[in-house]
Copies of this chain bind each other. A is one copy, B any other.
Amino acid sequence: MKVYVIGLGLIGGSLALDIQEEFKDSTIYGIDINENHIKEALELGIIHKEGALDSLNEADVIIISVPVDVSLDLTKKVLDTISENTLVIDVGSTKVDICKSIEDHPNRRNFLAAHPIAGTEFSGPKAALKNLYRGKTNIICEVEKTAFKLQERALSIFSKIGMRIRYMDPKSHDKHIAYVSHLSHISSFMLGKTVIEKEKNERDIFDMAGSGFASTVRLAKSSPAMWTPIFKQNKTNVIETLEEYILNLQQFKELMQQDNFEEIYKEMENTNHIKQILNGILLDA
């Protein structure tokens, strides 16, 4: 099986590692606009060979793991050049725009829209991890628009690397993921910003920060190049989540101003319910 991975970051690199582990006969070709990434990916054994965009017609599987704005044009171009039997998988964090951009493409049935929900705050080939996807959820959108035999190939890959599949329409995907992923990133970035602004004058402050702060602000280390286009593409949903989040914060502040600490206790107690939810996530993880 010839697998081309376009975009050798955390997501693409980790997929490459798991696919070569599970499909011993596979050859992994890597493509990246950053020459250093190719070099690193070869050195780290993430890919077997450097690939070229004009050889994509010989691929069995092409994985597109690039920032979501780059993916829109790129996926069209890739679909233009493939063979009849090539499966093209996009693994970006938004699904409405990408599905829309190729809906009328003559090779639409070669395309599968996926979102493997896994990652860390790091990026680049060095961030790639073996078994990143084991036990994680993979959202597949518009599966019925992919040719049946190519669906089967995709599912065989995802199943062997340990993912469980959920099917969802692109609109629902983008709406839900705004809550459970995109909003967390903004809350974390803005927490980091608020504290850093304070630190400018008072450098001692971080001496006082503990592991709780570190955990809450972890996502603020994420790549702006990856996240800016995600927020742009998912603008409407993200703004909605932000408005609800700000409203909840404001309400909490008002309860404090009114000295209504009984209600503040209840708010926190109700939210403790997140324990059960997180146990679910962590058990699955």
Residue numbers of A with Cβ under 8 A of B are 117-121, 136-137, 139, 166, 173, 176-177, 179-181, 183-199, 202, 204-222, 224-225, 227-229, 231-232, 235, 238-239, 241-246, 248-250, 252-253, 256-257, 259, 261, 264-275, 277-278, 280-282, 285
Q: Which residues of the partner chain B approach A271 to less than 8 Å between Cβ atoms?
A: 189-190, 192-193, 196, 220
Main secondary structure of the interface of A (DSSP, over half): helix
Q: Which of A210, A214, A241, A259 gathers the greatest number of chain B CB atoms within 10 Å? A: A210
Residue of B nearest to A176 (CB): B205
Do A216 and B214 contact each other (CB < 8 Å), given the known contacts A166-B208, A186-B252?
no
Residue from the list B208, B210, B220, B278 in contact with A119, Cβ < 8 A: B210
Residue from the list B120, B212, B252 in contact with A190, Cβ < 8 A: B252
Residue of B nearest to A277 (CB): B206
Q: A40: shortest Cβ distance to chain B, in Å?
A: 19
Residue from the list B137, B173, B187, B280 in contact with A187, Cβ < 8 A: B187
Whether B212 pairs with A183 at a CB distance below 8 angstroms is no
Whether B277 pairs with A212 at a CB distance below 8 angstroms is no
Complex CA distance for A153 and B189, rounded to whole angstroms: 42
Residue from the list B187, B189, B196, B217 in contact with A268, Cβ < 8 A: B189
Whether A179 pairs with B198 at a CB distance below 8 angstroms is yes
